[in-house]
């Protein structure tokens, strides 16, 4: 990004008069390039600004702002401005929301780093569901809760935002103070570092509050492990206050319904009991499947059973026969076909040609489809008889 742009972001300039330099067309919308702008394109996980362009008194909506490979900011509109001089107006509510979220993300991760030294930000997404994607040797709810408490304490202290502009080769003093930086992502010859008064320092192109109290409340709403990273979802301000109240009410109602003070312990015991019951049920289901008698072509219909158990069970029935299992589950019909005598994969492929997805090998194949069970049975039966 052009260093000149940051003076608008850092001084919270949301309106500006500018001159149109050029306009490009992309299908039914137009990208307007101006000699200056307070609009920010997407970068670093913070979504683009929206707003308006005023031309000869006509207010034109800017639906998004992007940047090209030359560093120009394009303001995308559905109407071409009819004057050289225009007024730009950034949607202040949208900008304020992302500014608070981005600031909270910095403070939360700075807090998490103090709790878990192995944590590292993989990426962030501040759009509809604000999320931080984190890589770490291990991460648990205890770490998250500790970092959440630290974050709320820092926000209440009212730490001031400090902006540092440095050349790439003049960062040693900031690095010694804990600067977080991914040098491979720095494309310019300068680095903009956002600091919250000694608590967190990070190389960043986003917008941030001048004082942490502007963020308001902070609440982690979800935490999960996906692939090789952890995902933390969060909210701030009034939304955090509302969600905190909702969660508090739910917890108190649950405690009343369960009749126990230690809800977490009680729920864990219930889940353990459920898991043990499920394991026993699957054992009995598998034993039941062993009692089924299969002929040359046999089919059996089930309701919402565990797919993996059915797959194990069907293989014990199809040594010399063709066996079809149909499992009604989640609004779809799961189909399991097993046989040494026909091409199961080919039959399933034909079955889902226009409706469904799946596949398999010559002697075993599975799929899911919206087709009704009777139509599935009739189709498979005809194919089996034809191939045999």
Per-residue pLDDT of 333-364, as tens digits, reads 999 999 999 999 999 999 998 788 999 999 99
Which one, of 119, 77, 92, 84, lies nearest residue 38 by Cα?
92
138's tokens: 């291990």
Compute the distance between CA of residue 301 and CA of residue 244 in angstroms, rounded to an integer.
45
The predicted pLDDT at position 1 comes to 56
Assigned CATH for 3-90: 2.40.30.130
Domain ranges of the chain: 3-90, 96-257, 293-387
- Please check whether residue 236 is in contact with residue 220, taking contact to mean a CB–CB distance below 8 angstroms: no
The predicted pLDDT at position 256 comes to 80
58's tokens: 């006509």
Residue 322 three-state SS: strand
What's the CATH number of domain 293-387, 1.10.579.10, 3.40.50.2300, 3.50.50.60, 3.10.310.40? 3.10.310.40
Residue 194 burial by CB count (10 A; 0-12/13-18/19+): exposed, middle or buried?
buried
Compute the distance between CA of residue 286 and CA of residue 27 in angstroms, rounded to an integer.
58
Assigned CATH for 96-257: 3.30.980.10
The predicted pLDDT at position 2 comes to 64
Compute the distance between CA of residue 70 and CA of residue 72 in angstroms, rounded to an integer.
6
DSSP state of 116: -
The predicted pLDDT at position 75 comes to 96
Residue 171 three-state SS: coil
The predicted pLDDT at position 5 comes to 79
Distances (CA, A) of 194 to 103, 114, 198, 218, 365: 9, 18, 10, 20, 55
230's tokens: 């952890």
Low-confidence ranges of the chain (pLDDT < 70): 1-2, 184-187
- Please check whether residue 256 is in contact with residue 177, taking contact to mean a CB–CB distance below 8 angstroms: no
């Amino acid at each position: 990004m052009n260093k000149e742009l940051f003076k608008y972001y850092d001084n919270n300039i949301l309106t500006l008069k500018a001159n149109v330099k050029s306009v490009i067309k992309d299908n039914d919308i137009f990208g307007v390039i101006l000699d200056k702008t307070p609009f920010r394109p997407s970068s670093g996980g913070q979504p683009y600004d929206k707003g308006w362009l005023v031309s000869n008194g006509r207010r034109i909506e800017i639906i998004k702002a992007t940047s090209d490979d030359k560093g120009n900011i394009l303001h995308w509109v559905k109407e071409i401005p009819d004057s050289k001089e225009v007024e730009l107006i950034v949607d202040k509510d949208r900008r304020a929301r992302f500014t608070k979220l981005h600031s909270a993300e910095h403070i939360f991760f700075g807090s998490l780093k103090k709790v878990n030294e192995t944590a590292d930000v993989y990426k962030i997404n501040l759009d509809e569901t604000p999320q931080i994607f984190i890589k770490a040797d291990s991460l648990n709810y205890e770490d998250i809760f500790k970092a959440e408490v630290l974050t709320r304490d820092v926000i209440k202290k009212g730490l001031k935002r400090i902006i540092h502009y440095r050349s790439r080769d003049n960062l040693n003093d900031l690095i010694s103070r804990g600067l977080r930086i991914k040098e491979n992502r720095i494309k310019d010859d300068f680095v903009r570092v956002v600091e919250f008064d000694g608590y967190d320092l990070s190389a960043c192109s986003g917008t941030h509050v001048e004082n942490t109290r502007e963020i308001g409340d902070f609440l982690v709403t979800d935490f999960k492990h996906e692939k090789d990273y952890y995902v933390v979802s969060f909210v701030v301000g009034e939304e955090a206050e509302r969600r905190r109240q909702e969660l508090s009410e739910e917890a108190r109602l649950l405690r009343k319904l369960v009749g126990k003070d230690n809800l977490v312990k009680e729920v864990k015991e219930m889940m353990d009991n459920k898991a043990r019951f499920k394991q026993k049920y699957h054992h009995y289901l598998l034993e039941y499947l062993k009692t089924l008698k299969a002929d040359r072509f046999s089919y059996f219909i089930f309701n919402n059973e565990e797919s993996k158990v059915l797959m194990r069970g069907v293989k014990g029935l199809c040594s010399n026969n063709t066996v079809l299992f149909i499992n009604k589950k989640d609004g779809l019909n799961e189909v399991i076909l097993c046989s040494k005598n026909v091409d199961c994969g080919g039959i399933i492929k034909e079955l889902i040609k226009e409706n469904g997805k799946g596949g398999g090998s010559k002697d075993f194949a599975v799929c899911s489809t919206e087709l009704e069970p009777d139509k599935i049975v009739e189709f498979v039966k005809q194919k089996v008889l034809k191939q045999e």
